[in-house]
Amino acid sequence: MKIQENGGQRSWTKIALTSLSAMVAETTTFPIDLTKTRLQLHGQSLSSTRSTNAFRVASEIVRSDQGLLGLYKGLSPAILRHLFYTPIRIVGYEHFRSIFGTDADSLSLSSKALIGGLSGVVAQVVASPADLVKVRMQADGRMVSEGLRPRYSGPYDALNKIVHSEGFGGLWRGVFPNVQRAFLVNMGELACYDSAKHFVIRNRICEDNIYAHTLASVMSGLSATALSCPADVVKTRMMNQAVGKEENLVYRNSYDCLVKTVKIEGLKALWKGFFPTWARLGPWQFVFWVSYEKFRKVAGLSSF
């Protein structure tokens, strides 16, 4: 009984530490995430658009959205999302890893990828409403910069209006491309970080310290971005689209969004926001993993 109680305490400690680490990482890198979202929405399904880039989008946000504070529009639902999303995927991955392997090195990369992807799917289904609110509020900033009235005054107003106009199920709008992205992100991120860190330590490139965590987070961020960016573009555009008459909808479903994006904007449009996505995932993972590993050590837990 004592072992079970200690195991339960360790699980709750890990949940608390992942939430805290995610909040620190999200706050640090949120301006990059906002830039990525605006960039992905730029030029959607238009036959001709003015070319843009991440730096131009970021400067426009600062100039037209209340200065530097505009870079944090939608932060509160983003943090709320990570209070659910990150603990489920991180602790879930570690739990499944311990079930199917005796230690972190006993599982193959493909097994870790599958476990990471499934953990991400479960976490994203739970956190999808908060993710929807975050995307809508980030897109509202673009509407304000164009002289239009924002749809929502805050996270609670967004939740209330979405449920009222689109139904309770509307909170999970875009959940399919969202789940696809979550599977790909976590397949690349968790499996790559886990394997890369242990590879670096096992081959004595460096010890289990901040240098190993930095190398592993950079590699996992790059692989996660390359795999997930197309699904992320589709997810962002689908979640930004409110329910209305079918003839007024830009995209009927995720597949229609994918086809129209490629047909009108070209194949490279599926990797719109690649640089800010990678630029965010890299620092996000660095801040998260360094914080999480440090917090685990302070709490008397073993390394991830």
Q: Rounded distance, CA 171 to CA 144, Å?
A: 23
**Mean pLDDT taken over the chain:** 82
For the stretch 71-86, pLDDT in tens is 887 788 788 888 889 9
Residue 243: what pLDDT? 62
Residue 219: what pLDDT? 85
Per cent of the chain over pLDDT 90 is: 17
For the stretch 253-281, pLDDT in tens is 888 888 998 998 888 888 887 887 787 77
Cβ neighbours for 254, distance < 8 A, ≥ 6 positions apart: 174, 176, 177, 180, 234, 238
| Residue 45 confidence (pLDDT) above 50 | no
For the stretch 229-260, pLDDT in tens is 888 888 778 877 766 556 667 888 888 888 99
Which one of 3.30.565.10, 1.50.40.10, 1.20.1090.10, 3.40.50.300 gives the CATH number of domain 2-298? 1.50.40.10
Q: Rounded distance, CA 85 to CA 123, Å?
A: 5
Residue 292: what pLDDT? 93
- Ranked by mean pLDDT, which of 2-16, 31-45, 284-298 comes out on top? 284-298
Residue 2: what pLDDT? 34
Residue 119: what pLDDT? 95
For the stretch 194-214, pLDDT in tens is 999 988 898 888 888 888 888
| Residue 32 confidence (pLDDT) above 70 | yes
For the stretch 78-137, pLDDT in tens is 888 888 899 999 999 998 888 887 666 678 888 999 999 999 999 999 988 888 888 788
Reading the block at residue 115, the tokens are: 């476990």
Residue 255: what pLDDT? 86
Residue 109: what pLDDT? 87
Residue 213: what pLDDT? 87
| Residue 1 confidence (pLDDT) above 90 | no
Residue 41: band (very low, low, confident or very high) from pLDDT cuts 50, 70, 90? confident
Q: Rounded distance, CA 159 to CA 137, Å?
A: 11
Per DSSP, the residues of the chain read -HHHHHHHHHHHHHHHHHHHHHHHHHHHHHHHHHHHHHHHHTTTT-SS-----HHHHHHHHHHHTTGGGGGGTTHHHHHHHHHHHHHHHHHHHHHHHHHH-SSTTSS-HHHHHHHHHHHHHHHHHHHHHHHHHHHHHHHHHHHHHTTPPPS-SSHHHHHHHHHHHH-GGGGGTTHHHHHHHHHHHHHHHHHHHHHHHHHHHHTTSS-TTHHHHHHHHHHHHHHHHHHHHHHHHHHHHHHHS----GGG-S-SSHHHHHHHHHHHH-GGGGGTTHHHHHHHHHHHHHHHHHHHHHHHHHTTPPP-
Q: ∠35-32-304 over CA atoms, to 5°?
A: 145
pTM score, two decimals? 0.74
Which residue's entry shows tokens 């994918």? 258
For the stretch 157-206, pLDDT in tens is 888 988 998 888 888 887 887 888 889 889 988 999 999 998 889 888 88
Residue 46: band (very low, low, confident or very high) from pLDDT cuts 50, 70, 90? very low
